[in-house]
Amino acid sequence: MMTTQPNYIVDLHSHTTRSDGGDTPQEFISNAATLGMKVIVFTDHDVLPPDQIEVNGVMVDPVLYARKKGMKLIPGIEFSCETQVEDVHIVVLGCDYSNPKIIEMYQKIVKSKIFSYQKLLDILADNGYDITWDEVLNYDDIPRKAEDVQKKIIFNLMAEKGYTKTWSEAKLLIRNNPDCSVKREKPDPVDIINIAHESGGIAILAHPYLIDETVTTNEGAMTRADYIDKLIDLGLDGIEACYTYDKTTYNGPYTKAEIIAKIKADYQDRVKIISGGSDYHADYKKTDKNVRNIGECGVTLEYFNSNELLRNL
């Protein structure tokens, strides 16, 4: 397991093998406990969080399993939103995931993902990138159902086959090449915000500076700042400030520290939560040298406990 000590003991953005992470849910919880974490989350991409996880061949409640290890585990989802705009991700936490509206949204997302990812593989094949659906379904020797496929698996395979140096380079190659780009139907972020609230949870905009400075939606072109303002006006609870921008596809002019300062200055009086998270994917299990570690980004325990919405999750 990775051994880097955390900068924060509250990490509100992480992934497991339920989506495109490398740790099983049990491994993630155990690794976090070893590092002394106090609050962790399941925020896998567009996947309902599990009620039960396997631990030594026995199915257990993950929240209780984490509690026995001295941690609070908050089940969540990272929803990919906005069909026309890349990297608009809403992290929802503390919802009732049996709510029919969440289940209906999940089912719609699954259908759009399967269709678009299979179409993407066809386009990649036509452009000389040999990646099969079977390879995707069995990536990393982990058999998965079609509804559990994540786009990052395709990026990983492109890197591992030598088409690009890293998964993030593969992401940019596809994103910036009109011949390879496939837009899948994604939910409106406002719908996700409303569903989160109706289900008793909260909604946080993840990594806002991964969103382009100018975006075009069905409402027309607008700046990133105006787009975020719209989400705030329509009920967004929080914005992620502390994030691993230096280890993702961000290519803007600001340092991670500058982004944190800008988000706090611009939004701490306008939203209820200034969040933070590592976007942990257990990258250490791959050849990627620029790994994101549990607790590398996050919020302080003092902030978590002092924030009414967070401490009541």
CA end-to-end span of the chain: 28
In 19-137, where do the E strands start and end? Answer: 39-45, 53-55, 58-60, 72-81, 88-93
Q: Extract the tokens encoding 53.
A: 């996880």
Provide, rounded to the nearest whole percent, the portion of the chain with pLDDT above 90.
83
Q: Extract the tokens encoding 50.
A: 């599990």
Q: Does residue 1 surpass a pLDDT of 70?
A: no
Q: How far is Cα 308 from Cα 312, in angstroms, rounded to an integer? A: 6
Q: Extract the tokens encoding 261.
A: 């300062």
Q: Extract the tokens encoding 287.
A: 């050849």
Q: Amino acid identity, residue 168?
A: S
What would the pLDDT profile of 238-253 be if each residue is shown by its tens digit? Answer: 999 999 999 988 999 9
Q: Does residue 288 surpass a pLDDT of 70?
A: no
Which pLDDT does position 159 carry in this prediction? 93
Which pLDDT does position 83 carry in this prediction? 87
What would the pLDDT profile of 4-37 be if each residue is shown by its tens digit? Answer: 899 999 999 999 999 889 999 999 999 999 999 9
Q: How far is Cα 147 from Cα 123, in angstroms, rounded to an integer? A: 20
Q: Does residue 284 surpass a pLDDT of 90?
A: no
Burial per residue of 286-301, b for 16 or more beta-carbon CB atoms within 10 angstroms, e otherwise:
bebeebbbbbbbbbee
What would the pLDDT profile of 199-211 be if each residue is shown by its tens digit? Answer: 999 999 999 999 9
Q: Extract the tokens encoding 220.
A: 């027309």
Q: How far is Cα 101 from Cα 220, in angstroms, rounded to an integer? A: 28
What would the pLDDT profile of 96-146 be if each residue is shown by its tens digit? Answer: 999 999 999 999 999 999 999 999 999 999 999 999 999 999 998 888 889
- Across the beta sheet with 88-93, what order do the strands follow? 39-45, 72-81, 88-93, 202-205, 238-243, 273-277
Cβ–Cβ contacts within 10 Å for residue 93, how many?
26
For 7, phi then psi, to 5°, come to: -80, -25
Cβ–Cβ contacts within 10 Å for residue 148, how many?
19
Which pLDDT does position 182 carry in this prediction? 85
Which pLDDT does position 3 carry in this prediction? 62
What would the pLDDT profile of 167-214 be if each residue is shown by its tens digit? Answer: 889 999 998 888 887 888 999 999 999 999 999 999 999 999 999 999
What would the pLDDT profile of 254-265 be if each residue is shown by its tens digit? Answer: 999 999 999 999
Which pLDDT does position 2 carry in this prediction? 63
Q: How far is Cα 212 from Cα 215, in angstroms, rounded to an integer? A: 6
Looking at every residue in the chain, the average pLDDT score rounds to 95
Cβ–Cβ contacts within 10 Å for residue 107, how many?
10
Q: How far is Cα 30 from Cα 282, in angstroms, rounded to an integer? A: 13
Domains detected in the chain: 25-96+189-311 (3.20.20.140)
